[in-house]
Structure 1
Amino acid sequence: MIRWGIIGCGRIAHRFMQGLNVLPDCALVASWSRRPETVTAFVEQYGGIACESIEELLASDINAVYIATLPDSHAGYSIAALNAGKHVLCEKPAAINLHILETILKVAKAKKLLFMEGMKPPFFPLYRRLKKHLLTDPIGDVGYVRAGSSVADISLDHPNFSYDLAGGATMGIGIYEAYLAIEWLGATKKVQAMGRFGDNKIDMFPSFKPSMNRVTGSFIAGLICTVKAMP
């Protein structure tokens, strides 16, 4: 039985619980949020205990933690949970830069615990079928990836528009496009980027052209993501 603790009780945590509730070998044990009113409502709906601090949550009878907070806090909570002996599933992006991610992975390796980013596309049934088809397609390897997404139904006070909370289109949704490019074309060698920053200093309309270089040749991906407030 996987006994889960949840850090952060916002919209994403509610979506996580939709899946957790149908798994027979999982249970929600404890939850904590920086906003006490959200954790109270959360446990009333899903069960478990409402913790008053992250220390209380990490000391509870859990063996795994799901981190559903904003990107700026992912690293701190992940390292705290790993040091407390808990496996970690962290919302994307797992970290805001490579150096921080390497620090998290170093702790996970030292503790012999699982640290996993909540990157969901690889687990979609349709994506799995597509991947299986492309891997056996007689036309050959994938040589170009073009991907895009847009979010235009959030208010200006949403964390996605906060520079201090690591908001912006790239961190919020662009990571999905980047994943697809790396999944099919391999690690990047060079990235060209252009876009527009908003008054709040976040990237709102970025466009990327990463160049990959697999053993079989050179490849390019075109990636576009946008985030826009409701009028």
Structure 2
Amino acid sequence: MTDPRAELHWAVVGTGSISQSLSDDLALTPGARRHAVCSRDPGRARAFAAEYDFAVAYGSLPSLLADPDVDVVYIATPHATHAEIAIEAIEAGKHVLIEKPMAATARDARRIVQAAGASGCFAMEAMWMRFNPTYRDLIASARAGAIGEVRSVRASFGLPFDVPDSTRWTAERASSTLLDQGIYPVTLALDALGRPARIRASGRVRADGVDLTEHVTFEYENGGFAQLSASMVEYSEPTASVNGTDGWMTLPAPFWATDEYETHAGGLAQALFEPQTTRHERRGNGYVPMLEAVTEAIAAGLTEHPIHPFADAMSTIELLDDIRDLITLNTAPLEETR
């Protein structure tokens, strides 16, 4: 087991943009040390280790997991690989932090939860938005009645990361706008309103099954609703609002990583023209609060984190499964994407 008095030695699997941002933030995280990086391309692993000051580089996962100095593994690989890598790491006695989504399906996510439970290792989906102090403050304020009873949510994450027929997005990798971007609006809706009674969803899906865009409506028994959208091929203003009987709160772009929000409340004129701005310090690229919380939780011997426990991650991914089924049912695949 990890010595709680020592620094935790982190390893990163994958060398893409997320691993780069996260590695910068590991350097700012108390109690964390950048130790190892792994890539299928040994040359990339060595270059990454040199650039981001990791002690060692590996060209295979078994080699990394055999390193006794590795305490925690961050998994930043394609969605389809999350479950197998996480389970292999857990069975090797390593703690894991898994880039969202935790797995491509709820079924695979349950396998991770079971493996973690059997091993006693810490495991968590890296839903960094939930650790963002600005986001946490907004949710806490909304639940405390800052805008009365919460009645609706509006959230979008549409940025053209790729062209519609990009070969970087494949069914084999479980590439998905819903899993990659839509998870943020869905999580906000769940945090503000809870699980919906009904879901309506449709979007654009390639012939190979990769979803490009989606728009989703959650409906609640009390008349509340959430309007959510995501796209990887076009813009959809990446902002969000939480709306209530006595006002509303807005998160500017990018809403999942912002350092401020506005509260519009206190009477009609004040709500319209005198919003109150709340700001929190941004630390690094935004991953530091999550990395710090995970490092502290592991040092304390926890196997889950109360801010984002397995139950919450499972609730979200089960809902994503339902949304994906509806999108597939309601959308004819695109034979041509241009």
The answer, yes or no, to whether TM exceeds 0.5 is: yes
User: Is the 1:6–1:32 Cα contact (8 Å) retained in structure 2?
Assistant: yes
SS in 2 for 1:208: strand
d(CA) in 1 for partners of 2:224, 2:105:
24
Bigger Rg, which one:
2
d(CA) in 1 for partners of 2:172, 2:31:
38
d(CA) in 1 for partners of 2:134, 2:176:
28
Query: Higher relative CO (CA 8 A, sep ≥ 6), structure 1 or 2?
Result: 2
User: Is the 1:10–1:38 Cα contact (8 Å) retained in structure 2?
Assistant: no
**Which residue of 227, 230, 233 maps to 1:225?**
230
Runs of 4+ in 1 over 6 A off after TM superposition: none
User: Is the 1:7–1:69 Cα contact (8 Å) retained in structure 2?
Assistant: yes
Pairing 1:178-189 to 2, within 5 Å after superposition = 178-189=186-197
d(CA) in 2 for partners of 1:139, 1:210:
20
1:2 aligned partner: 8
d(CA) in 2 for partners of 1:229, 1:41:
33
Which string of whole-angstrom CA distances, capped at 9 and with x for unpartnered residues, describes residues 167-221 of structure 1?
12111100111111111121244322111113553111211112345xxx45321
| Runs (5+) with no aligned partner, structure 2 | 1-6, 236-337
Asked if 1:204 is matched to 2:212, the reply is yes
Return closer, same or farther for 1:229/1:145 CA change in 2, 3 Å cut-off: closer
Pairing 1:32-51 to 2, within 5 Å after superposition = 32-46=38-52, 47-51=54-58
d(CA) in 2 for partners of 1:153, 1:53:
28
When the two structures are superposed, what TM-score results if normalisation uses the length of structure 2? 0.63
RMSD: 2.1
Q: How many residues align?
A: 227
2:198 aligned partner: 190
Asked if 1:74 is matched to 2:79, the reply is no
Asked if 1:18 is matched to 2:24, the reply is yes
Asked if 1:167 is matched to 2:172, the reply is no
d(CA) in 2 for partners of 1:149, 1:139:
24
Q: What fraction of aligned residue pairs are identical, expressed as a percent?
A: 30
Q: By how many angstroms is 1:24 displaced?
A: 3.1
When the two structures are superposed, what TM-score results if normalisation uses the length of structure 1? 0.90
SS in 2 for 1:28: strand
As a proportion of its length, which structure holds more strand?
Answer: 1
d(CA) in 1 for partners of 2:196, 2:95:
29
| Runs (5+) with no aligned partner, structure 1 | none
**Which residue of 9, 26, 37 maps to 1:31?**
37
